[in-house]
Amino acid sequence: MHKTIALFALLTLPLAGCLEDPATRGLAGAAGGALVADAFNGDVLTGAVIGGLAGAATCGVNVGLPPCY
């Protein structure tokens, strides 16, 4: 579990500055969804799809992220 969290932090850190469009938010969401699903022994592919859709859908929603253009 600790390795999964460390890997998640390492992989998402480069995306932190470029979450200004739906594609990068979708990629970050997919990575996060896959890692969370793996940590809880769920289906990684389903977690990635749900996380990717959720990440892309946050474009224009006021959650503290910059708006997409």
Name the domain count of the chain.
1
Average pLDDT, the chain: 76
Question: How far is the CA of 68 from the CAs of 16, 37, 47, in angstroms?
Answer: 14, 27, 24
For 47-58, how does the pLDDT look when each residue is reduced to its tens digit (9 = 90+)? Answer: 899 988 888 887
- Asked, for residue 67, whether it belongs to a domain, the answer is no
pTM exceeds cut of 0.85: no
Query: Do the beta carbons of residue 38 and residue 47 sit within 8 Å?
Result: yes
* Residue 38 CB partners (closer than 8 Å, separation 6+): 4, 44, 47
pLDDT band for 45, please (50, 70, 90 cuts).
Answer: very high
Domain that holds residue 44: 2-11+19-57
In a domain, 62, yes or no: no
Q: Is 65 inside any structural domain?
A: no
Q: Is residue 69 part of a domain?
A: no
Q: Considering the domain boundaries, does residue 50 fall inside one?
A: yes
Does 49 fall in a domain? yes
